[in-house]
Amino acid sequence: MPSTGPAADAARAAFRSRIDAPGHAVENAREALDGLERAFADGTLVETPVLGAMIADLRAALEPDETGKVGGKSAEAARFILRAISRELDAA
């Protein structure tokens, strides 16, 4: 059952706003993920198993490569995963 109420709606809106914000996709993804994790931690949203798997994929995409950089493929993967998380948030 999805979380309801103004706080849940605000958490979803904040996530979506962050992923649509101008700037670097990787940085936006990190900020969106931080906000989402706070919403899970304080009980505003419930982390579903599907969201948990998507978040694990996003974390992997945001890991630096052997040179310590997060590059274009990470940005593409982050954008793709963030869109999937955004769709799934309606069930959180």
What 3-state DSSP class applies to 61?
helix
Cα 1 vs. chain centroid, distance in angstroms? 20
In this structure, what DSSP letter does residue 42 have?
T
Output b/e per residue, 21-44; b: 16+ Cβ within 10 A.
eeeebbebbbbbbeebeebbeeeb
Reading the chain (92 residues) residue by residue, the pLDDT tens digits are: 678 899 999 999 999 999 999 988 888 999 999 999 999 999 999 999 999 999 999 988 888 766 666 656 777 888 889 999 999 998 77
Tokens encoding 77 = 């993967």
- Distances from the Cα of 35 to the Cα of 24, 31, 80, angstroms: 17, 6, 18
